[in-house]
Each structure stands twice: as structure tokens, then as C-alpha cells.
């Protein structure tokens, strides 16, 4: 199998690339990433010179390049992680969220369709090469927010509240449309908040760990009572692997570990683990449109596909904190911007902000 993983230099993508190389030693893994500010080749350093692994610096919006990659590597599965992923950035600059998350996904779908359809010239042909699949990595944020009770189930309407989640919901609908209109083999996974090694320090857990270590203020939005359902990143990887191999064509699967925590609870837990003071907590004005609560009903993937998470939150957060303590240089290189200097040397067309 030749698997195209897009966005494989980011947080979850890089964990998934390594997971796949370990679990499926016979697969060829092609990692395509534009190396925006969030893509970091240091995340993949320990792969070494594995001959089953190829890295391609490219943008999912670049049709010509994507065409070439499909031809050259005879791609038969796509796992699409590539996205702008930070809600705060989507509030500042929504446009790139539409071009990457929506148009980029549509370009990948279209090129996959052309390459996989048995008769690409016939618009009524709904037959595809055996074993091909397009897996769209989505988020629970597409469902909008929950009240105090209830869980997200796959059949709920999509009611996204911010430009990031709206772009992810639009991409989900486009993936669904390619399945309904063209009969394309697809799956969509909608996962809750991930945490673990290699997460860019603009996100809550690495940000708080880094600021604690530096003795800097810990900025908390609003009252800190926003509830998220946390999943350790390798559990997300194993769930995607499960859907890729056992998912029913056309189905959507929620992924989550039943770990609801308020942001402030997580912050206090990290402060305690690092022996710091709660005086560092600084409450700041809440993010506009900040959803109060997300929580996943994971019954479908558990009962129909036999997946289950292997980390409790307590185990996962312990490993995560340890990883950031053991890898302070990784964090330093990001915070100082050094990793961008490395790209500039390697890939001369990367701009100041990494786009
Ligand atoms: N982080 C979470 O908690 C979470 C939860 C559920 C779903 N997701 C989804 O998982 C995926 C990965 O999330 P993440 O947290 O690893 O994100 P990330 O921001 O760490 O990584 C995104 C990667 O995509 C690449 N990329 C961005 N634009 C690109 C483009 N136009 N062409 C090619 N590559 C491009 C970046 O360089 C980066 O390597 C996203 O689709 C996100 O919506 C994330």
C-alpha cells in the first residue's frame, strides 16, 4: 500500500507517520507537507533513513504537484491531516483556512478521483480501483458546542461556530459530496482535543508547560471553564489506522477517550506536576465565539470497529509532561524561530512566517 499522508510534519501527522512506519513496515509512506509555521521536520528526525518513507515539500492547493505525486508514487490511500488548525489564527485571518482546509481538500479529492476511478472519462462510473480510500481527518468542533449535558454523535447536524470549525465542516461536506455524487470510497473521522509530544506551543498544554518552565504568566481565556474531551495523540493514530483498514465505506466515526476536563483543571494539574505556583495564572478576555463544552460519544468506533483508547488521561498527561521536560531544545528551537532558519537553508522559498 502506498499511503499519502498530508500535513505529516505537524503535531498529529508526525505522530501518525511514525505510528504507520512502525505498525505497517511493508507500506510506503509518502508525507506531503507545505511546512507552514506549524510544520516542523524536527518532529520526524528519528525516522532516520527508512527506505519506506518519503518526504515531499508541497502544498495541497498545488494541483500540478499533487497530480505528479499520485502518478509517481501510485497512491492508493490518502490520510488528509493538512490544515490550518488554530482557532485563534482563524479569527485573525480566516481566508487561509478556506483555501487550505476547503479548497485544498477538494483538490486532493479531485485528483484521487481521477486516479482511482476505473473509467475517469465516464461521469456515471462509480467503480474504483480495489482497496483505495480517502480518509479525512476532522474534528469534533464541527458539531458546535454542547450544553452541560449530552455528547456528540455522528448523526448530529454540523453547527460550527468559528472560522476554523466552519472550514473543517465545509471540508467534511465536500468529502461526503464526493462519496454521494461520484461514489468515491471515503471515511471521515472526528476527534476530540489531542495532546502529547510534538504539539506546537500555541496550543493549551505545551503553552502552559513552556510558560511554567520559564516562570511566565499563564494566560487563561475567560473563566477557564471551557470543557474539552482530551485524547492522547497515539490513541488518535490507532483510531485512524483502524478506520483506514476496517472503516465501512462512506461512514463517519467519532474518536474520543471520555476524558472531559475544564481548561483550568488542566492548567492547575500542570502547575502542580511542575511544582509551580497558581499565582502565574492570568485570566484574559475570552476568545470571541468560544465554545463552552465538547464531548464525544465514541460508541460507534468501539462497537463497530473494535477500537479502544489505551491511555488514561492520568497516564497520557504524565508522559506528555515528561516528554516536554526531556525535549526542552525542541521547544526552544520553535520559540526562538530557529526551526524556520533551518527550512530557509533547506527550502529557499519558505517566507518569514513559514507560509
Ligand atoms: N490538534 C487537535 O487537537 C485536533 C483534534 C481533532 C482533529 N484535528 C485535525 O487534525 C489535523 C492535524 O492537526 P494538528 O494539530 O496536527 O495540526 P498542526 O497545525 O500541528 O499541523 C498541520 C500541518 O499541516 C501542514 N499544512 C498546513 N497547510 C498546508 C497546505 N496548504 N499544504 C500542505 N500542508 C499544509 C502544516 O505545515 C503542518 O505540518 C488537522 O486537520 C486538524 O483539523 C486536530
Give the number of the atom of ligand 1 that is nearest the alpha carbon of residue 82.
24
Selecting among 140, 145, 235, 260, the annotated active-site residue is 140
Ligand 1 centroid distance, CA of 13 (Å): 7
pLDDT value, residue 353: 40
Pocket test for ligand 1, best of 4, 6, 8, 12 (most atoms within 8 A of CB): 12
* CA distances from residue 157 to 142, 144, 166, 169 in whole angstroms, order as listed: 9, 9, 13, 10
Selecting among 33, 84, 141, 260, the annotated active-site residue is 141
Ligand 1 centroid distance, CA of 169 (Å): 15
Dist. CA 126–CA 51, nearest whole Å? 35
State the average pLDDT over residues 130-154. Answer: 97
Residue pair 188/175 in contact (Cβ under 8 Å)? The answer is: yes
Tell me the pTM. 0.95
pLDDT value, residue 343: 58
User: Residue 48 — pLDDT band, cuts 50, 70, 90?
Assistant: confident
Dist. CA 312–CA 310, nearest whole Å? 7
User: Residue 354 — pLDDT band, cuts 50, 70, 90?
Assistant: very low
pLDDT value, residue 351: 44
Residues flanking ligand 1, CB < 6 Å: 6-7, 9-13, 33-36, 38-39, 59-61, 81-85, 100, 104, 137, 139, 168, 191, 193-194, 200
pLDDT value, residue 344: 61
How high is the mean pLDDT of the chain? 94
Q: Is 164 a catalytic residue?
A: yes
Sequence-distant (6+) residues with CB within 8 A of 213 are 274, 324, 325, 328
Segment 302-315, tens digit of pLDDT = 999 999 999 999 99
Output the residue whose Cα is nearest ligand 1's atom 26. Answer: 82
Pocket test for ligand 1, best of 43, 64, 82 (most atoms within 8 A of CB): 82
State the average pLDDT over residues 168-179. Answer: 98
C-alpha cell at 221: 481565556
Selecting among 19, 53, 128, 164, the annotated active-site residue is 164
Ligand 1 centroid distance, CA of 39 (Å): 8
State the average pLDDT over residues 206-230. Answer: 94
Segment 320-352, tens digit of pLDDT = 999 999 999 999 999 887 766 655 665 554 443
State the average pLDDT over residues 138-160. Answer: 97
Question: DSSP string of 300-323?
Answer: HHHHHH-------HHHHHHHHHHH
Higher pLDDT, 349 or 355: 349
User: What domains lie within the chain, and their CATH numbers?
Assistant: 2-346 (3.40.50.720)
Sequence-distant (6+) residues with CB within 8 A of 124 are none
**Helix, strand, coil in percent for the chain, rounding step 5:** 45, 15, 35
Pocket test for ligand 1, best of 4, 6, 8, 11 (most atoms within 8 A of CB): 11
Give the number of the atom of ligand 1 that is nearest the alpha carbon of residue 354.
37
C-alpha cell at 155: 448523526
* Residue 187: φ, ψ to 5°: -140, 155
DSSP E strands, the chain: 2-6, 28-33, 53-57, 77-80, 133-139, 186-191, 193-195, 218-221, 227-232, 252-255, 260-262, 281-284
- Provide, rounded to the nearest whole percent, the portion of the chain with pLDDT above 90: 92
Output the residue whose Cα is nearest ligand 1's atom 12. Answer: 81
Ligand 1 centroid distance, CA of 38 (Å): 8
Output the residue whose Cα is nearest ligand 1's atom 11. Answer: 81
Segment 247-287, tens digit of pLDDT = 999 999 999 999 999 999 999 999 999 999 999 999 999 99
Ligand 1 centroid distance, CA of 12 (Å): 7
Segment 226-242, tens digit of pLDDT = 999 999 999 999 999 99
Ligand 1 centroid distance, CA of 81 (Å): 5
Task: Output 124-129 pairs: Cβ under 8 A, ≥24 positions apart.
Answer: 126/182, 126/183, 127/183, 128/183, 128/184, 128/185, 129/76
Output the residue whose Cα is nearest ligand 1's atom 10. Answer: 81
Output the residue whose Cα is nearest ligand 1's atom 5. Answer: 193
Ligand 1 centroid distance, CA of 26 (Å): 26
C-alpha cell at 270: 500542570
Residue pair 81/5 in contact (Cβ under 8 Å)? The answer is: yes
- Residue 3 sits at the vertex; the CA angle it makes with 319 and 142, to the nearest 5 degrees, is 65
Dist. CA 77–CA 75, nearest whole Å? 6
Amino acid at each position: 500500500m502506498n499511503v499519502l499522508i498530508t500535513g505529516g510534519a505537524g503535531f498529529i501527522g508526525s505522530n501518525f507517520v511514525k505510528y504507520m512506519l512502525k505498525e505497517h513496515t511493508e507500506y510506503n509512506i509518502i508525507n506531503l507537507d507545505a511546512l507552514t509555521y506549524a510544520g516542523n521536520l524536527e518532529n520526524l528526525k528519528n525516522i532516520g533513513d527508512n527506505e519506506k518513507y518519503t518526504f515531499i515539500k508541497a502544498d495541497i492547493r498545488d494541483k500540478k504537484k499533487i497530480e505528479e505525486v499520485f502518478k509517481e508514487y501510485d497512491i492508493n490511500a490518502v490520510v488528509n491531516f493538512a490544515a490550518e488548525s488554530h482557532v485563534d489564527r482563524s479569527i485573525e485571518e480566516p481566508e487561509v483556512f478556506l483555501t487550505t482546509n476547503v479548497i485544498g481538500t477538494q483538490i486532493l479529492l479531485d485528483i484521487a478521483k481521477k486516479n482511482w476511478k476505473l473509467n475517469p472519462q465516464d461521469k456515471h462510473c462509480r467503480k474504483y480501483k480495489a482497496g483505495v480510500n480517502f480518509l479525512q481527518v476532522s474534528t469534533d468542533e464541527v458539531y458546535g458546542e454542547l450544553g452541560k449535558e449530552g455528547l456528540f454523535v455522528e448523526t448530529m447536524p454540523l453547527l460550527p461556530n468559528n472560522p476554523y470549525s466552519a472550514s473543517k465542516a465545509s471540508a467534511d461536506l465536500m468529502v461526503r459530496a464526493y462519496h454521494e455524487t461520484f461514489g468515491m470510497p471515503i471515511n471521515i473521522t472526528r476527534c476530540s482535543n489531542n495532546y502529547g509530544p510534538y504539539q506546537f506551543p500555541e496550543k493549551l498544554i505545551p503553552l502552559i508547560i513552556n510558560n511554567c518552565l520559564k516562570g511566565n504568566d499563564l494566560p487563561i481565556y475567560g473563566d477557564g471553564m471551557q470543557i474539552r474531551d482530551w485524547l492522547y495523540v497515539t490513541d488518535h493514530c490507532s483510531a485512524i489506522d483502524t478506520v483506514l483498514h476496517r472503516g465501512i465505506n462512506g461512514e463517519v466515526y467519532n474518536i474520543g477517550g471520555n476524558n472531559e476536563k475544564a481548561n483550568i483543571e488542566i492548567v492547575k494539574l500542570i502547575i502542580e506536576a511542575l511544582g509551580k505556583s497558581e499565582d502565574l495564572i492570568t485570566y484574559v478576555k475570552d476568545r470571541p465565539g468560544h465554545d463552552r463544552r465538547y464531548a464525544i460519544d465514541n460508541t460507534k468506533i468501539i462497537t463497530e470497529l473494535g477500537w479502544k483508547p489505551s491511555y488514561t488521561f492520568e497516564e497520557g498527561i504524565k508522559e506528555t509532561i515528561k516528554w516536554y521536560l526531556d525535549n526542552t531544545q525542541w521547544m526552544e528551537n520553535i520559540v526562538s524561530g530557529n526551526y524556520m532558519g533551518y527550512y530557509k537553508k533547506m527550502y529557499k522559498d519558505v517566507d518569514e512566517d513559514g507560509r
